[in-house]
Structures are given as C-alpha cells and as structure tokens.
C-alpha cells in the first residue's frame, strides 16, 4: 500500500469493481485448514488465550488432558476461533490438530468409524513442516529409531530410491520401531504410517488407516492385511486409541468438535451433541496428552449434554473449562471491518482516507451498540458496499445460494479425495439432486418419488435408494447402489443384492462405481447377470468432475441454516443452473441401460503394477544418507 492517500477516482474504481465482503461468510470445514478469512485476534481473545494456556500446561507436564467447552449462539464466531487455534498451532513444532464438523458426522450409529475417518483425514493436512502430519509422525519414528534428524522432505524425496534398492525396507523399519513401541497392539499401524513417506503409496496407506479395505494386490504389495472383522465399530475405536496413543508420545494433540447441533439421532435416541459428548469422554479417558474442544449453543449444553447418561462424568471431562463467546461492541465492529478492508486495499495498492472507507464509522458504531454477531456485521457490509451517495442495489434472492455453492465447489477442488471413496456421501449427493427433479421428465423417465430401500439388518449398507417413476407409461423402479469399496467381498455382496429384483422391489438395478469389478470373482458373475438382457441393469461410471457439483449442493443443503438459505431456494437454484438435469451421472442413471461395462474404469491392479515398474526403474544413485540408512538397517 502506498504511503500517500489514493485518489477518490482510484478508490472508487476498486470499490465498484469488487466487493470484498461478497462471499460466503460461513466458516466451513475447509476454511479451518485454509486461511480464508481475516482473523481479528482481539475478538474473543479470552477463549483462544485459554486454549493456548491449556496447551502450555500440557507441554510443561502440569496436566495430561484438558477438556474445554465453548458456548455461543450461531454466528458468534465459534468456527473462526477454531481456525485461529489451528493456524497458531501451525507455527509450533509439537502439536497436531484434528477437526470434526458437519460434513464428518454422518451416521451417528457409526461414530467411531466416522471419527477414525476424521482423524486420518485431518492428519493428511499439513503441519508446521509443510508436509502431512502423518509424514511428520513417520519421520519422527524413523529419527527416534536411528537417533537421527532427517527432515520429512529428505525422507520423502529419497524413499523411492531406497524402495527400489530394497523393497522390504518398510518391513525392516517397522520391526525396528516396534521394538520401541511395545504398547502398539496392531503392528500394521506402524507399517501403514511409514508407508506415508512414499509419495506413490501415501493415499493407499491413509485409506487403510481409515479402516477401508484396499484392493488385494495393493494390500499385498504393502504388506497390509484387509480386515476380516465383523465389528467395524469396535475395531475403529481400537485403531483410534492406538493412533492417539502413538501421537501422544511425541505431540500434544488438539481435537475440536464443531457444529454439534442437529435433529438427527442414533438408534438409541441420542442427539448428535450427546453422541459426540460421550465420544469425547471416551477419548479423554484414553488419550495421554491432548486438549479436547467442543463448540456448541448454550441450550445444547443445558438441554442435551447435561442430561446424558453418566452426565457428571461427561461434564467433569469435556466441561472442565467452559467459556462463553462475547457479542461485539462498537470498537470490535470498527476493528473487524477495518481488518477486512486492510486486506482489500493492500491487494489493490491503495490507501483510503480512513480505515473503514467507504463506510461511515459512526454507522458502524451504531451497529455495534446492537451487540451483533460477526456474521451480521459482515452481511451488513456486503449489503451496503457502494460508493457514498449511490442508490441501494437490488439483490438476487438466489445469490446467497450461488455464493455458497461456488464456495463448496471451489473447496472440493482440493478436498474431493476425502469424499470420492465414501459411497454413502456420494449416494446422498445423487439422491438430493434427483429429489430436485421430482415430477420432471429426464431421459424419458418422469420421476414420482425417491425413497429408501427398506432392508433387513443383514442387507444394510449395500443399496442406497429407489427411484420410482414412469417411462413410456410403465412404472419403473430403479434401485441405485454406489459402490466405491475396493474389497471384492463387499462388491460381490452389493451386486448380489442388486440383481435380486424381487426381494428388493425393483425393475432395474443400477451400479454407480469408478473402479472395475475384478474378473473371476462372484462380483463379476453378478455384474454380468445385472447387465444381461434378462435383467437389463446399468453400470454408470463415477467421474470426479460429475460428482463434484452434486457434492457441493449437498454440502450447501447440510449447512443451509448457516448459509441462511432455504431448501426451496436451493431447489430453485439447482433448477435454474441445471446442476441436476444436465449432470452426466443423473442422466445415465435414468437413461435406457446400455448393457455394457463402461470404459476408462480405475484398475487398481494396474496401478500397483505401474508403481512397481516405476520403483524398479527408480534412480540407482542412492546418496550417502540412504546408504547410511541401509547400513543401519543391516541390509
């Protein structure tokens, strides 16, 4: 920004060309990890300071675990505070950060599995060393074994060469680490964590750590067993405990639970807030070194959390320290707005006549007397961004939906891999967009309703929903199964049900999947039958670019209260923008089946072979550090 004041001509040109407040003001999961909003550290500093003090107490060995509950009404800045905590921790060397919110909770009856997925995906985010937190942990393990000081970047860069020279190096490293970590019951956890140092295997390793089965050839190449346990929930919690136990040997782990308000309940009748409070209690009892933070409305605390079973035990842990966020005052409002405008003017290399130009500071102070929430102030700025004396602008009622949709879609460019393997989330996105087409005709099918497929317990988790409509005067019942799992066993089980037209009341089965179905398996036999002229089923290829807009609108719907948009407005936007009707997935599901297996499916066997070939042709010139590492391993 220049030192002298900018001309009004230059200022006004910038103001009319861009409104810095005209964006979604809702803090979402991806905003926590990316610095999407200017942070005014003085606002609610009493809470963030208390969190950092708690972390310092643990670092100093004065405490092992501290539970903190933050109470505030919607829009007062709970998620902004979480983002502040994360970005402060990114500058510190001994903390890991985990964040769970609206998009992560899903099926409350599988909360351990959902938290395991959140834990593994959070640790994929960069720590303070500009690599995944998983890779920081793996490097720490290697350095402890050899009393060395390699950086993660050194190990990641050189691991292809080591693997090329000695494919069993991960096995050898795992054995060395396990001699120091006798408390780890599952040795394969160490093996998978060390595999995160391989740029070619890191995604597979994290998928395995998240409890997902790998293609058998991939699992074999990494020496990782696919699960054979029936009780996935119990296994997930054991994995969570062991991962947290391992991390606690080296780092203070900060776990945040946000957006606990929901009308959904689990099978026992517990709300989301109650389920998470009980989960946090369990984690508190297992963790060796960490801070647990729960953010919720005040009424959620009093009406839900304080009445759970074992309430005293829960409150003693997660409510050990409780803080209320404060409403803004006049000084806060002026500071908040000037902080946002500082970035705007700096970007445009301009110096305004006063920090809140083009707003009137007196008007902002009047707004502050109402003790507003942060979002209300920023929304006021959005609506009143104009040159002094200009007439009011008309606002498109669907503009908020469009802004929210674009925010979610942009975020998915970086986060899509977190959801592409999640069959249930993909199914929910497809289902929502089909609901927006109710009573409309697409590919000659007039959609009457979308309904759940009622099944027995043994059949749960395989078939997602049923489309009922009319095609050429005939009733059609299309049952859709999204199957992104790699396990041949799971794929076979899903397809076995998808060809049972009578039991599951369908006239057509539709498989949605990005991967191939392996030959010489029961799944392939069932797929051939599904696509035969006898059943006339369909195999629709799942593509990243096709599912992204559907996921984006699903996430807007899930956060519609935060975005302050209605379901009706969302449906109108989907219709106006043709997100659903022009989508390849939607049209393929409803179109006449081709009876063919689509081309271009992901072949996980091929991926493994390609990586093996790449490893074989990796550089033969291993530098001194790698030779030294091999010598230490005795190889």
- Residue 548: per-residue pLDDT: 97
Tokens of 33: 């990890």
Comparing 526 with 184, the larger pLDDT belongs to 526
Q: Give the residue-averaged pLDDT of 41-51.
A: 91
Comparing 617 with 526, the larger pLDDT belongs to 526
Q: Is 134's pLDDT higher than 90? A: yes
Q: Give the residue-averaged pLDDT of 406-416.
A: 91
Q: Is 64's pLDDT higher than 70? A: yes
- Cα distances (Å, whole numbers) of residue 293 to 35, 116, 280, 373, 599: 20, 17, 9, 21, 47
C-alpha–C-alpha distance, residues 295 and 78, integer Å: 6
Average pLDDT, the chain: 88
**Nearest to 477, CA basis, from 441, 443, 509:** 509
- Residue 474: per-residue pLDDT: 94
Q: Give the residue-averaged pLDDT of 202-220.
A: 89
pLDDT band for position 228 (50/70/90)? low
C-alpha–C-alpha distance, residues 262 and 536, integer Å: 40
Residue that is written with structure tokens 């091999």 in the block: 630
- With beta carbons less than 8 A apart as the criterion, state whether 100 and 115 touch: yes
Q: Give the residue-averaged pLDDT of 257-277.
A: 91
Q: Is 516's pLDDT higher than 80? A: yes
Q: Is 478's pLDDT higher than 60? A: yes
**Domain 44-125+251-327 classified CATH 3.40.50.300?**
yes
Distance of CA 303 to the CA centre of its chain: 28
Work out whether the CA dihedral 94, 100, 104, 107 comes out positive or negative.
positive
pLDDT band for position 62 (50/70/90)? very high
Q: Give the residue-averaged pLDDT of 514-531.
A: 94
Of the ranges 23-27, 325-329, 379-383, which one carries the lowest mean pLDDT score? 23-27
- Residue 611: per-residue pLDDT: 42
Burial class (CB in 10 A: 0-12, 13-18, 19+), 577: middle
Q: Name residues whose C-beta falls within 8 Å of residue 177's C-beta, 6 or more positions apart in sequence.
A: 141, 142, 144, 145, 190, 194
Q: Is 513's pLDDT higher than 50? A: yes
- Residue 227: per-residue pLDDT: 74
pLDDT band for position 321 (50/70/90)? very high
Residue that is written with structure tokens 């969302």 in the block: 570
Q: Is 432's pLDDT higher than 90? A: yes
- With beta carbons less than 8 A apart as the criterion, state whether 516 and 602 touch: yes
Q: In what order do the strands lie in the sheet with 441-442?
A: 441-442, 445-451, 465-471, 474-482, 508-513, 538-541
Q: Is 331's pLDDT higher than 70? A: yes
Comparing 451 with 627, the larger pLDDT belongs to 451
Over the stretch 22-38, which tens digit does the pLDDT of each residue have?
887 777 777 888 777 77
Q: What percent of the chain has pLDDT over 90?
A: 60
- Residue 393: per-residue pLDDT: 65
- Residue 241: per-residue pLDDT: 92
Q: Is 613's pLDDT higher than 50? A: no
- Residue 30: per-residue pLDDT: 79
pLDDT band for position 392 (50/70/90)? low
Q: Is 125's pLDDT higher than 70? A: yes
Q: Is 606's pLDDT higher than 70? A: no
- The gap between the terminal CA atoms of the chain, to the nearest Å, is 59
- Residue 629: per-residue pLDDT: 55
Q: Is 100's pLDDT higher than 70? A: yes
Domain parsing of the chain, residue ranges:
8-23+328-383, 44-125+251-327, 126-229+607-635, 417-602
């Amino acid at each position: 920004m220049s030192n002298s004041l900018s001309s009004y001509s230059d200022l006004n040109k910038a103001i009319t060309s861009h409104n810095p407040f005209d964006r979604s003001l809702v803090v979402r999961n991806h905003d926590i990890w990316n610095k999407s909003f200017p942070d005014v550290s003085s606002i609610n500093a009493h809470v963030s300071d208390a969190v950092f003090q708690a972390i310092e107490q643990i670092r100093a060995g004065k405490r092992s675990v501290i539970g903190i509950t933050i109470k505030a009404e919607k829009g007062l800045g709970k998620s902004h505070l979480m983002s502040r905590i994360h970005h402060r921790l990114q500058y510190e060397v001994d903390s890991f950060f985990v964040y769970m919110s609206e998009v992560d909770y899903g099926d409350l009856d599988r909360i351990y599995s959902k938290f395991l997925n959140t834990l593994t995906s959070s640790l994929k985010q960069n720590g303070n060393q500009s690599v995944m937190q998983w890779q920081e942990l793996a490097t720490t393990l290697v350095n402890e074994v050899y009393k060395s000081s390699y950086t993660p970047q050194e190990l990641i860069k050189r691991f292809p060469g080591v693997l090329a020279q000695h494919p069993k190096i991960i096995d050898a490293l795992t054995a060395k680490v396990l001699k120091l970590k006798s408390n780890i019951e599952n040795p394969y956890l160490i093996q998978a964590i060390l595999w995160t140092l391989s740029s070619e295997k890191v995604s597979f390793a994290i998928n395995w750590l998240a409890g997902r089965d790998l293609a058998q050839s991939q699992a074999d190449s990494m020496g990782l067993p696919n699960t054979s346990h029936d009780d996935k929930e119990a296994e997930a919690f054991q994995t969570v405990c062991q991962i947290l136990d391992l991390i606690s040997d080296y780092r203070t782990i900060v776990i945040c639970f946000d957006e606990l308000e929901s009308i959904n309940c689990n099978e026992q009748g517990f709300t989301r807030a109650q389920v998470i409070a009980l989960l946090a209690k369990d984690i508190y009892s297992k963790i060796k070194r960490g801070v647990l933070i729960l953010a919720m409305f005040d009424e959620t605390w009093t009406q839900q959390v304080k009445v759970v079973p074992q309430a005293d035990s829960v409150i003693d842990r997660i409510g050990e320290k409780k803080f209320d966020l404060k409403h803004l005052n006049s000084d806060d409002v002026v500071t908040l707005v000037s902080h946002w405008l500082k970035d705007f003017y700096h970007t445009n290399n301009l110096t305004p006549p006063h920090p809140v130009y083009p707003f009137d500071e007196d008007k902002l102070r009047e707004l502050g007397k109402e003790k507003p929430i942060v979002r209300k102030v920023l929304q006021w700025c959005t609506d009143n961004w104009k040159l002094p004396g200009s007439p009011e602008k008309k606002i498109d009622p669907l503009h908020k939906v469009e802004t929210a949709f674009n925010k979610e879609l942009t975020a998915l460019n970086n986060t899509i891999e977190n959801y592409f393997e999640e069959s249930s989330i993909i199914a929910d996105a497809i289902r929502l967009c089909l609901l927006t087409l109710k009573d409309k005709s697409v590919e000659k099918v007039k959609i009457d309703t979308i309904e759940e497929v009622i099944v027995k317990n043994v059949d749960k988790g395989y078939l997602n929903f049923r489309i009922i409509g009319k095609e050429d005067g005939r009733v059609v019942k299309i049952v859709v199964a999204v199957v992104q799992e790699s396990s041949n066993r799971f794929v076979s089980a899903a397809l076995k049900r998808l060809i049972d037209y009578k039991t599951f009341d369908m006239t057509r089965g539709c498989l949605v999947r990005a991967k191939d179905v392996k030959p010489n398996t029961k799944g392939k036999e069932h797929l051939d039958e599904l696509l035969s002229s006898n059943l006339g089923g369909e195999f629709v290829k799942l593509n990243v670019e096709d599912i992204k807009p559907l996921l984006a609108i699903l996430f807007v719907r899930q956060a519609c209260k935060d975005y302050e948009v209605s379901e009706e407005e969302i449906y109108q936007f989907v219709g106006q923008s043709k997100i659903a009707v022009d989508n390849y997935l939607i049209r393929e599901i409803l179109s006449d089946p081709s009876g063919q297996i689509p081309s271009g499916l992901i072949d996980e066997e091929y991926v493994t072979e390609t990586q093996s070939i790449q490893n074989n042709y990796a550089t033969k010139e291993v530098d001194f550090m790698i030779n030294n590492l091999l010598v230490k391993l005795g190889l």
